[in-house]
Structure 1
């Protein structure tokens, strides 16, 4: 029997320095960033997009999963929605982003602004961003259905 190996998350869109944005927990050092990236699940090599909250365990960022406070789930939702909006127009850039200006947006939140940008620290970003964009397209129907349901619920709630 094969030992289960945790899939590697390769960040493409990141919100770094999240500890400054983290609501009432701002300046708490447990979560350093949020990211959307590529994850390869299973034996078939299919690439999927995953979200991740990067923890600081004192020595390095942890790959451990965790229960997320509700505001972090909402912050991840903001990161997802802003990224989806960005990728609708990303084709305008040769590499799907501008290497000279990788910041996508700064979103004001309690604590500080969340900076959303392309992860240019990744030496494979040009390849990974293409895979990320394709995975968004491949899952558009499923994601759009959920976004429409979320939009309706938010509207019904008065937002």
Structure 2
């Protein structure tokens, strides 16, 4: 399905076959495409790049399509990597899979400050939910691992070596 080009988000790079590779939703997804392009919120004289997930209901393009500034896409990738590392390498040490006295698991330095990564203790069902999160990561290990490997290779190709 071809991504629209007549809307405010102006696609520059597209993956129009995304529905075929959308993780567990592959071949049965409303996320029909991904694009990187010029953001819909651009003002005169200022151009920002955004990423967009294009959703289609089967009849029309959905208002639930999502557009994110590129730095937020990367911030989500950072958060994802840190959470996966925590679940794989640290959570097993705690009966509840986290330390209720110290829910913060990291501070990732960004632009002179830091992103605080922590377990959401405001979630009334955090003990159950963190276990479900761990189980979902284990179930989707191959699916996520493949994408992490591709991301690692692409970052290395760009010269970003830990």
Fold match by TM threshold 0.5: yes
Which string of whole-angstrom CA distances, capped at 9 and with x for unpartnered residues, describes residues 14-71 of structure 1?
xxxxxxxxxxxxxxxxxxxxxxxxxxx9xxxxxxxxxxxxxxxxxxxxxx76310000
CA-atom RMSD in angstroms: 1.5
Q: How does 1:133-144 map to 2 (within 5 A)?
A: 133-144=134-145
Which string of whole-angstrom CA distances, capped at 9 and with x for unpartnered residues, describes residues 133-153 of structure 1?
000000001100010011001
2:148 matched to which residue of 1? Answer: 147
Alignment coverage as a number of residue pairs: 97
In structure 1, runs of 5+ residues without a counterpart are 1-40, 42-63
Distance in structure 2 (CA, Å) of the matches to 1:97 and 1:138: 20
Distance in structure 2 (CA, Å) of the matches to 1:77 and 1:93: 25
Distance in structure 1 (CA, Å) of the matches to 2:74 and 2:112: 15
Give, in angstroms, the shift of residue 111 of structure 1: 5.2
> Any idea what SS the aligned residue of 2:105 has?
strand
1:36 matched to which residue of 2? Answer: none
Q: How does 1:1-159 map to 2 (within 5 A)?
A: 66-89=66-89, 90-110=91-111, 112-159=113-160
1:27 matched to which residue of 2? Answer: none
Distance in structure 2 (CA, Å) of the matches to 1:65 and 1:75: 19
> Any idea what SS the aligned residue of 1:68 has?
strand
Which string of whole-angstrom CA distances, capped at 9 and with x for unpartnered residues, describes residues 91-140 of structure 1?
11111100000001001101521000000001110111110100000000
Distance in structure 1 (CA, Å) of the matches to 2:80 and 2:131: 17
Distance in structure 2 (CA, Å) of the matches to 1:126 and 1:72: 28
The TM-score with structure 1 as length reference comes to: 0.58
When structure 1 is superposed on structure 2, of 148-157 and 106-115 the one drifting more is: 106-115
Say if 1:66 and 1:121 are closer, same or farther in 2 by CA, change over 3 A.
Answer: same
The TM-score with structure 2 as length reference comes to: 0.57
In structure 2, runs of 5+ residues without a counterpart are 1-24, 26-63
